[in-house]
Structures are given as C-alpha cells and as structure tokens.
Amino acid sequence: MRKPSLTFWQILNMNVGFFGIQFSFGLQQSNMSPIYKYLGAHDASLPYLWLAGPITGLIVQPLIGAMSDRTVSRLGRRTPYFLVGALICSVCLFAMPLSPALWIAAGLLWILDAANNITMEPYRAFVGDRLDTSQHAVGYLAQSAFTGLSQTLAYLTPSILVGLGMQAGAVNSHGIPDVVLIAFIIGAVCSIASVAWSAWTTPELPLSAQEKERMRHAPRSLGATLGEVASAIGDMPSTMRQLAVMMLFQWYAMFCYWEYITLSLARSLYGSADSTTPVFAQALLISGKMGGFYNFIAMLAAFAMMPLARRIGAKPIHVVCLLCGGAGMLLLPGIHARAMLFVPMIGIGLAWASMMGNPYAMLASSIPPERAGVYMGLFNVFIVLPMLLQILTVPLMYENILVSNPENVIRLAGGMLMMAAVLTLRVKVRTPP
C-alpha cells in the first residue's frame, strides 16, 4: 500500500531534527582531535581516542534498530528513542569543553557517541517509515542537506565568534579555547531543540491494529533482540552486502580526514603540527572554515541531487561524487596558499553530500519495511566497522608507511574514496516505482 506523499516542505520539516544530530557530529569532527591535543594527547594515539564512535555504533545501532521495530508507544516506534538520545547528547556537549583531563574528554565522547547513535538510527528508519518508496531519495537527500547546513555552522562557529569579538587565543583553565566552549553550548541547545521540533510537527504514521498486535506479542528480551539482529544478518539483501564493501572504503577515508586535517594543514602551511605553537590555533580555525565550506557545498549539492536522483538514480551520482572527493583529498596536502585550499573542498563537499543520502536511497527499496529499524542499524555498522579498522591500522602505519606525516594520511583518504567509487559500480539497485 502506498503511503501518503508529502510535499517538499513537509519532507524538510520532518528532517529538521537531523540539523541538531549533525551539528553534534560536526563539533566532534572539527574539535575533538584539537581538544585531545590541548589535553596532552600524542599524534599517533589520536585514532585510539576516537574509538568511542565505532564501538558504540557497532553495539548500539543494531540493538536500538531491532528494539524500535517492536516498540509500541503513544509517541510511536522511533520517536522515544531519538528524543532520549538527543537529551543525553545535549548534556554531553555542554560538559565536553569543560573536561579537566584527557580521560574525562575521552569518556564523555563515549557517552556522547552512544547518545548520537540512539538518536541517529531510529531517525533513519523514520524516513523509510513515513515516506513512500518513490520519495525515499528526496527524504534521505533532505537529511544530507541538513547535514551540510548544520556542519557548516558547527565548523564555522568558532571563527564566527572570533569575528564577533572573542579572542581566538583565550582559553579556559584546561587550555581549551573559549570559542570552542561556546560552540559546544550552542550545539547542546540545537541538539534537543531541533529533534523536539521534528517530533512535534511530524508524528509517525499510525500503526494498524494488526501491526500493533504483532509487535505487542513480539519477544522483547535481550536474547530475542540479539536473535533478531542475527537473523537479519543471515537474511541480508544482496544490495546491502554490495553497499557494505563500498562503505568500507568511503568511511575509512572520512575518518582519516577528520582526525588529521588540522594536523595536515599545520604541517603544509606552517611546517609544524605542534599544538603548543600559536600557528596550531590558526590551523584549527582554517580547518574549521574549510569544513564549513565543504559542508555548505554539500547542502547545496544535496538539493541539486534531488531531481537528478529521481531522473537517473542515486548510483551514478554517488560514483561521480566520490571521484570528485577523492581527487580533492589527493590534491589538498600539496596546496600551500590558503585561498586555494577551498578548491578541493568543492569535491569533498560533493562526496559528503552523496555519502549522507545516496547510499540510504539505494538501500531503502531493498529492505522489508517491517525490519527497517534493524537493517538501518546494521547498515550503520558498515560505517563504524571501517572507522574501527582505521583506528586500529593507522597507528601501525603512521611512523613507517606514512612517515609520521599527517599529510600522507589525507592522501591515503583520497585513494580510499577513489576505490569506493569503483566499488559502487558493482552495486545492483532496485529501481523505485
């Protein structure tokens, strides 16, 4: 049975909550490595300090997905999860820049990423629940657009605060810049406010009496939930398996970029990645501006991709965008003029827009609606497994293969995106009606 079609503005409205979720991720991507460095972390150990995202995603998302498939509440199946997750996320964002020690910041990141995962997975499934198959591409690209908008602001907030008169070099008692502290407080407000707005304005579709009865009689124990996850893995559609291989390369690349871009810029522009020097703070602000720019490009690109995805499909768009992103990352370390750094960001922005929307559009039509939660959770495992692999392998390669040069990590990321583009070509996608 076809679901009621929503207007373009209704689809945007239901995805406002993604603004807050991704503002949080943007703050992490642009600030966690510098925060760790300010608190005394060594360059080669940075990937280990990012373990929170992959591990919590690996555990939380499939379980929450399976649980939300069986949840019956006054608010619906998915809404209780993303409201609770957003609230916890807000508390952690407020506390993060107040961390007095490295271990506290790392511990808060574990809680923050768990909360983000509790929120993220049901929100992905919510789009599949609420929209007809013919509108899936528009729905997920709308999430991509909000990702671009929110992360643009998350990356640029410290620079905007400096422009409004705050001192870039002013720090709190733990050495963390005041502009970072204010940015995280803004993120805490955005997280809960935007998710609450979407939950209020776009209620879930009511379940039929038969669906409610089936869900109420479904076992809810931990064993049953784990069994459902295991069963879903065994029944995984071929399209999802093919996408998983491609995702390994594209997300390995992005984690390399987020961890090492500030260090790479400090090296290529100023010749040093030492966090105790004044130029490191400048590299942090530049990387924030670059991140804001590529996310702004991603926002515009996501809107442009909506009619294209309906006309030619998500797959060819994803191939082209990944090639552009790979080329951008390969060029980036060789650029020493600050103004020219924004040119490769165009390609990275196109890749980022596509990554946050098109793989989900390719997936959504291949999974059974009654198991959308568990399959969206498992699909996000294919984001965190590459991140976990990256965390475990980059420190082993950093000194010998990458010669202790953060610029080479960015070059590695570019090659990974190129390979992801090639692997996308072998994905067989079901065409929506």
**pLDDT tens per residue, range 176-185:** 888 888 999 9
pLDDT band, residue 198 (cuts 50/70/90): confident
The mean-pLDDT minimum among 2-16, 19-33, 52-66, 390-404 falls in 52-66
Residues above pLDDT 70, as percent of the chain: 94
pLDDT at 361: 81
Is the torsion defined by CA of 114, 115, 118, 119 positive or negative? negative
For residue 220, what pLDDT band results from cuts at 50, 70 and 90? low
Question: Is pLDDT above 90 for 411?
Answer: yes
Q: CA quadruple 202, 206, 211, 212: dihedral positive or negative?
A: positive
- Whether residue 126 is predicted with pLDDT greater than 90 in this model: the reply is no
Q: Across-strand partners of 171? A: 177
Q: How many CB atoms lie within 10 A of CB 182?
A: 17
pLDDT at 433: 46
Spatial contact of 146 and 22, defined as CB atoms under 8 Å apart: yes
- The three-class DSSP label of residue 355 is helix
Highest-confidence segment of 224-228, 259-263, 283-287: 259-263
Residue 149 has pLDDT above 90, yes or no: no
Neighbours of 111 (CB within 10 A): 17
* pLDDT higher than threshold 80 for residue 317: yes
Kindly indicate the confidence band of residue 419, based on its pLDDT and cuts at 50, 70 and 90: very high
Q: What is the percent of the chain where pLDDT is above 90?
A: 18
Q: Mean pLDDT score of the chain, rounded to an integer?
A: 83
Predicted local distance difference test score (pLDDT) of residue 409: 93
**Which of the two residues, 349 and 230, has the higher pLDDT score?**
349
Other residues' Cβ atoms within 10 Å of the Cβ of residue 170: 11
Q: 305 is written with which tokens? A: 């991709």
Contacts of 213 (CB under 8 A, 6+ apart): none
Does position 7 have pLDDT exceeding 60, yes or no?
yes
Supply the pLDDT for residue 258. 85
